[in-house]
Each structure stands twice: as C-alpha cells, then as structure tokens.
Structure 1
Amino acid sequence: MCGRYATTRSEADLSDLFDAVDVTEGLGPSWNVAPTDPVPLVRISASQADARVLDTARWGLLPPWAKDTRGAAKMINARSETVATSPAFAPSFARRRCLVPADGWFEWVRTGKERQAFYMTPADGSVLAFGGIWAPWGPEKMRTVSVLTTAARGDLARVHDRMPFILPPDRWAEWLGDEGGELLRPITERELAAIDVRPVGPAVGNVRNNGPQLLDPPPKATLF
C-alpha cells in the first residue's frame, strides 16, 4: 500500500513541472502526508478548456453512495489489478484519472520488536507522479482522490509487497487523456532502478510530526 508520502514542491514548481494552471489556493508542502490530508493533484479541467490544472483533493476517495467521510481513510489506495472493475473505483478510472505529485513515499519493516521506516525516492531528486483517480463527493462536490498501487519489484519488494503505481513523464498525457491504451503497464526495470531505498528515523511514524528532518537517516540503520 501507500499510506504515507512526502510532497514538498511549491505550487509554482509543480505547475511548471506538470505544465498545469495552479488553482490550489495556497496548499503548502508536507513531509508527512497522511490519509484524509489535502494533497495536490494534476487533472484535466473542462472549465479550463480541457487544460491541465494543479488542484487540491482530500486523500481517500469517497464514492457517491458514501453516507459520510468516515470511510475515506480505507480508500486511499486502489489496486491497479482491480481498479477498472471495482464498483467504487471503476467510474473514476474511466473518466477521472489524475497525477498525484510526490517526492517519495514511506514504508515500515519490522525487525524483531522494532519497526524501521524507509523512504523511497528518485535518486536524482526528480518529481514522482503517482497514478491517481478522483471523485467529487457530497452536495459541495468535495474532491477526493486515491493513489493506485501495484506489486512491488526489486529492492522495493523487500520493504513492502505493494508500491505506488508510478508514471514517468512520457506517460502523463496518456494517463490524463481519453484514450484507452495500455494504461496499467508497469514501469520499466531502468525506471525502477532509479528509485532509492533510504532508512529514516522513527519520527515519521507520528502523523503530527512534519518537516525536512523526517528524511534524515537514523544514527544506526541498515537497509534490510
């Protein structure tokens, strides 16, 4: 799964990187994004002449039939294997795909009685784009979003059996467009190898903690 991640670039930087119009209204950076937090996403907007917009959504997709927001934390991820057929996710996958910008994501590995946190991030510091789907919910059409996940591979599989569904830049337009195609093909081995696995300290485990210090390596840590 992907239950915690970092997205720290400014709206101006994200707008430039994704060639999108910024309509986020001051969403700040976070080194510890948690379920139900507001997050940036890139989507196609009919009101902007079908241009890309950098927008904000609540993390945890709510289908139209949800009576309240209590189930949102359980809907932060959509499995790529079933997203096209799931009653909760299929309508959004067909019509409301989006990109979720990230610097990297966190997972934990249990070693005895302890849990070691790891941060997965591009070695060159480039932006990640998670494949996402969004849906409006409630009378006010609150925007909600889920991040797709897929089977982890390589060193990432040693941390967790799932990983975010990552889209390289040359596939952004295809994902956001109306064309079908092979949308759910995995990233290449070369793209996978460009992602580092870095141990970080335990502070990221508390959702109240935030700041760049969460990415610092602990005094003593091993990769696995």
Structure 2
Amino acid sequence: MRVNRILLSTALVAVALVVQVCILARLHLPGAVPDLMLLVIIALALVWGHVAGALVGFCAGLLTDLAPPADHAMGRYALVLCFIGYLAGLARPDKGRVQSATVPLLVVCGAAAGSTFLSVGVAALVGETHEGQTGLGSLVLTALIYDLLLAPFTVPLIMTLARRIDNDPLADSSGTGTGTERPTASLMTSGGMRLKKGRIGSARTGLLTRPAKPRIRTARIKGVKRL
C-alpha cells in the first residue's frame, strides 16, 4: 500500500474506533450496536479494491479486539472484518468511481448481515456464549437498520477522501493529448539538422518551401518589334 493510503486508513480507523467505543457502544440501543468500523472498511474497499480492503479490515479488527471492553476471543473481529473487506472490494466499480448509491447500499446490507452471522458463528466455534443474548434474527435486523441509517453520513465522505488521496497530478499530462493536435514530422537535411514540420501549409521557412522562379523583366522599346 502507498504511504498516503496507510496514513488515511490509520486516521480513519483511529477515529472510528474512538467513536465506536466512547459513543456508539454506550448508547444502549436495542439489539446490535451501530458498526462505524464496518462502514469505514466498506468505503475504503469500494475505492481501493479487495486486497487493500482485506488488509485494512484485518488491522482494524485487531485494534477493535484489543480495545476495551475486550470480552471476546482475540482475533475474532479481525477475521470478520478481513473477510468482509475482501468481499466488499470485489464489488469495486471501475476506477473506484460509483455512479449511483445502489451498489454501496447493497454492499452495506450484505456486510451488516454477513458480519453478524460471521461474528456469531466464530463465537460459537470458540465456545463463547453470553446469557441473555439477543436472538440472531433481532441482531441481524437491528444491525441492518443502524448501519443503513449511518451509511449516508459516512460512506460517501470516506470514499471521496480515498479517491482524492489516489489522484496523481501528473497522470493527465503523461498521456498523448486530447486528440486536437496534429502529429509533427521531422525532416533531416543534408547537414544533419533536424527540422520539424507542422501542419500542412503552416511552414514558412525557406528550407521547406519551394523557391520561386525569378521573373525576368524586359524593357519594351517603342518601335522595336518583339522577337
């Protein structure tokens, strides 16, 4: 990954982690908790692709596993976000430019449901059970609602920042031009000098134009017939 991508993803993950732990986790909403970290991973994966999405997802999930209150197995959320980031990156449009909001919303819906199923499945595999836990159907439904309500305020902004980071000011000038200019040809003179020939009819140098024949003016004398 580029340095600018690493800096941007680190800043976004740090902000999302602080908001997730200090604000969203303390709202005590029914069912699931709004997952801002998941939305950050989705937005970056839709712009940068599946490889970057998996890497950022794994690192962000590992930080989430370490953040208090860490009441689950280490690496559980890292595995979930790595898998979600990889799948979200596969839905990346051409050049990372989304033409409509349909694709991001569909990806958010699939990621919210998929991350809930994966998190519950991994918890069951490692033997983690919590008394009084909300049913799986209620968790999936509330995760969908919360993430869809939060997505319009976060995903477009993060995608715009990610695209601006990747902009190269020299990318446009390195091309062959806009097509309005005509190609130039070069001529070699006998002395080894290279001359550039532009558009037809625009060259006015003496070496490229045909020399004009001199006119010989004859004086006409009265009374003498012209031979």
- Whether TM-score is above 0.5 comes out as no
| Structure of higher CA gyration radius | 2
More helix by share: 2
Q: TM-score, normalised by structure 1?
A: 0.28
More strand by share: 1
